[in-house]
Chain A
Amino acid sequence: MKDLNSVLSSIDISADWIGLREVCENKTFRYIRDMNPQSNTRSSSHGIMVEVLSNGQFGYSATSDISNSGINRAAKSALDNANAGSKNNIFKFDPSVRPKAVGTYSSPFIKKASSLSPGQINEMLLKSNKFLTSNDKVVSASSMAMMVETEFNYVCTNGSNANQKFLILITDQAVNVKDGDVFQTRSMGRMGHQMGMEALDEDVVMANCEKVLSEAIELLSAEECPTGNMDIVIAPSQMVLQIHESIGHALEIDRILGDERNYAGWSFVRLEDFGKLKYGSDIMNVTFDPTVSNEMASYMFDDGGMKASKEYLIKDGTLIRGLGGMESQARSKTPAVANFRASSWNRAPIDRMANLNLEPGDSSFDDMISSVEKGVYVETNKSWSIDDYRNKFQFGTEYGKLIENGKLTKTIKNPNYRGVTTPFWNSLKMVGDESTFEVFGTPNCGKGEPNQVIRVGHATPACLFENIEVFGGV
């Protein structure tokens, strides 16, 4: 990494604020399918984003030329951009939207990334793949591991000097099975955490393989998911998407302010809804929390320098706060959270989710199942779609069970459900306790123009919703 303070002091432009954000990332993807290697790939990315504030407008220049002369050229270009944009800008910012950030952060882990060699990781993946391909109904089986090592350095003319290091592990085991004309898929959902190579612990990986294979075989002879309005118990592996799409994106302040209207869309939430809107039932509590150990989007500072802290967004079912960083706070006059984030050095920060969690309730899994006369239980997201206002959603899942007279009975295939955001969350009847609570993260949240993909975390218990529209496959 560069000595950014030294580079900053050499930049010869006149501006109200200058920031340098250097990002170096190594992403290693190892993937075995049907006992053969498909990918052993390390993608490295290294560059610097120079941001400049002039005449109330930020301009940026992102460059892979990280020589001192390259960064100086980028600073001049960022200044030119700021000045050009300031002639017709939507808001006149001042340096207060870039608070001073000083400190360090490092992901918690037990085994460092280099503790397993490429050969050892391939051996582990081959072993899991051998198990997954052991049944003659398996058409295809895959085992993967992705290791992401990222370092951010951030210095600014306001005295900011922050360094954050992340280690993220994403693993998955998946099978496609076939019996006659019936095909089914079962996977672990390709989720990840901030942790080390302990994620590839053999006992954990093989237990996942057993679950995935046995449930896939079950699905081949399963009945189609029933159609109709009924109660649904949603496992954390699907709640992740439910929270992400129908809470997270809807509460992003830049969407509410209209920045995303040409791409991801707007939001049904309006600024005047904060403090008033009954988003869900009284047992719904949602937090923004980048401080949870091991969750994928934990950090100390966002990319605008704001220090991260846990904040309630929805308390006892009422919407109280949105997902907007310091720029959005200045524009909307709503309080900020530290969510102003960029995917890498070559994109400017925007309002994003980080860790967005549904707080546990007081119902055990058995309490929820036993309270349902007729319904379904579903696991692991397979399909997702929601409208540009984040209202009308439809989700499909990999695996389900019928709930009949308070008991889990037959396995069902192709479980889908659809609904509208606030009626759906107001039908939340029971929230699972700590024993049902799981931490997940996904690396693929897309948003912004130019587009960017970012990592987010979601932790949630299982939940029971009443009277939801449920249906099966073709």
Chain B
Amino acid sequence: MENAFKKISNNLFSSLNRDEVLMLSISGENSDFCRFNQSKVRQIGEVLDSRLSLSLINDKRICHGSITLGRDLENDIKLAQNELDRLKLEVTQLPKDPFLVMPSLSDSLSEKNHGDLLDSSHVVDAISPIIKNVDLAGIWASGNIFRGCSNSMGLMHWFETDTFSFDFSLITKEERMVKGTFAGNNWDQLRYESYMENSIEKLKLLERNSVKIEPGNYRTYIAPAGVSDLIDMLSWNGVSESSIQQGQSALIKLKNKDRLSSCFSLEENFSSGFVPRFNGVGEVSPKVLNIIDNGILRNTLISSRTAKEYGVNSNYADDGEYLRSPKMAAGDLDETDILKSLDKGLYLSNLHYLNWSDNLGGRVTGMTRYACFWVENGEFVAPIENMRFDDSIYNFFGQNLESVGSQLEFIPSVGSYSSRSIGGNMCPGILLDSFKLTL
């Protein structure tokens, strides 16, 4: 698709008038999906999709359009030209945009991570045998994903990756569950079987009768997958400079005078190469951006548009100013010491359905889910019935954060709203001396 994108770009750029500037981006995938329930196939298929987005600037006005590409180059050029013609007619009717950011020319980036993926015809045979004696629900997703960006100033970026993920839940007869995600770029049957065997082994921990926990405050360990969900909340009215300026962010207090725990540090870190460093308009973000350093807010995510509107410096965040490649710093709590340090309290593997219950106060509500346990004397006692929590980032990343795990875990993004996600979060677990359960 890279060559096709270049040809479409050149064709459109050649039809611009002198006063017009055009930015293009492309995203697409060739994905296989197989959905499992009770370790059997529920739905199976493939999606071939690619989308071209156009942003036309003329006389301080801008409008945007996007079309589906059919992968017939001649016809795609015709469709793109029609869309450009529509934008040319529309842009002159729109109000001027004082915070419009003109694209600039920077070094072009090209990154291709080719992998060795399982052929779609072999997926059912490869996945099924080892799960035949357990109850598994989940989704297999695999294939090539691409992103590109160009503009009429001459910029051209390309990013392409082959990835697979098998995101699943193993379920006992008593309806207790273990979560797992086996993901990567190169399929390895033996590694898959070993990962699944380990996951199935974890079900044994759930065989004991569950205990009901009363609402209240508890010493709590939250494993990396749960911490990843809490970090995700910061992408929603959190680290965005625009949301802070508009009075909608949980970090307004942090920007003013409050501090989080000195154990808590967070950065935007593109070193892994799992996601492109260029944003939707082709700007290249710094490889590492310190967001929160030992509890102190050092940087927010600032797009060039926000920078212009509020008179601050851009760090080339994407338009939505969300975390694209977050990495929370590890601490000194060794994995073998987690239960001993927790002593008595809750061990939470995963959280579920988080939302701000008081966005400006920093309070988050959500549920415990999957393998969550009551611990006494540093040992698992029993799984717990799921509970609702409602607590503040100023507590669990602040005054109640006792220590941070020494091991970082990569939690891959397996979402697929409109298209398959790429990248993920690097997180450790956290030990809290208090965490509030409410229902």
Which residues of A come within 8 Å of B, CB atoms?
36-37, 39-47, 57-67, 70, 74, 77-78, 80-82, 84-90, 117-119, 122, 126, 139-140, 176-178, 183, 185, 257-263, 265-266, 346-348, 350, 383-389, 392, 394, 396, 414, 416, 418, 420, 446, 449-453, 469, 473-474
Contact A122 B47 (CB under 8 A): no
Contact B65 A45 (CB under 8 A): no
Residues of A within 8 A of B356 (CB): 383, 396
Contact A261 B37 (CB under 8 A): yes
Partner of A90, one of B40, B63, B367: B40
Contact B62 A40 (CB under 8 A): yes
Contacting A at CB under 8 A, from B24-60, are 31, 33-35, 37-38, 40-51
**Which of B11-19, B117-125, B156-164, B201-209 lies at the interface with chain A?**
B117-125
* Also in contact, A67 and B95, with CB within 8 A (given A81-B46, A394-B388): no
B167 within 8 A of A: yes
B272 within 8 A of A: no
The chain A residue with its CB closest to the CB of B388 is A392
* Also in contact, A45 and B68, with CB within 8 A (given A59-B45, A257-B37, A262-B167): yes
Contact A348 B358 (CB under 8 A): no
B220 within 8 A of A: no
Contact B248 A176 (CB under 8 A): yes
The B interface is mostly helix, strand or loop, or mixed, namely strand
B219 within 8 A of A: no
Which residues of B come within 8 Å of A, CB atoms?
31, 33-35, 37-38, 40-51, 62-72, 75, 83, 86, 90, 93-95, 97-99, 120-121, 123-125, 128, 137-139, 141, 167-169, 171, 175, 177, 179, 245-248, 252, 352-363, 365-367, 369, 386-388, 390, 392, 415-418, 420, 438-439
Residues of A within 8 A of B66 (CB): 41-44
A268 to B182, CA, bound (A): 29
* Also in contact, A385 and B366, with CB within 8 A (given A41-B63, A67-B72, A474-B361): yes
Listed A/B pairs (26) with beta-carbon separation below 8 Å:
A40-B90, A42-B86, A45-B68, A58-B44, A60-B45, A62-B49, A63-B48, A64-B70, A81-B120, A84-B44, A84-B121, A85-B34, A88-B40, A118-B93, A177-B247, A258-B171, A266-B175, A346-B49, A383-B365, A385-B354, A385-B367, A388-B369, A388-B386, A450-B139, A451-B417, A452-B417
The chain A residue with its CB closest to the CB of B39 is A88
Partner of A85, one of B41, B175, B354: B41
Contact A64 B94 (CB under 8 A): no
Partner of A474, one of B139, B363, B367: B363
Contact B93 A122 (CB under 8 A): yes
Residues of A within 8 A of B168 (CB): 262
CB B216 to nearest CB in A, in angstroms, measures 15
CB A223 to nearest CB in B, in angstroms, measures 15
Contact B97 A37 (CB under 8 A): yes
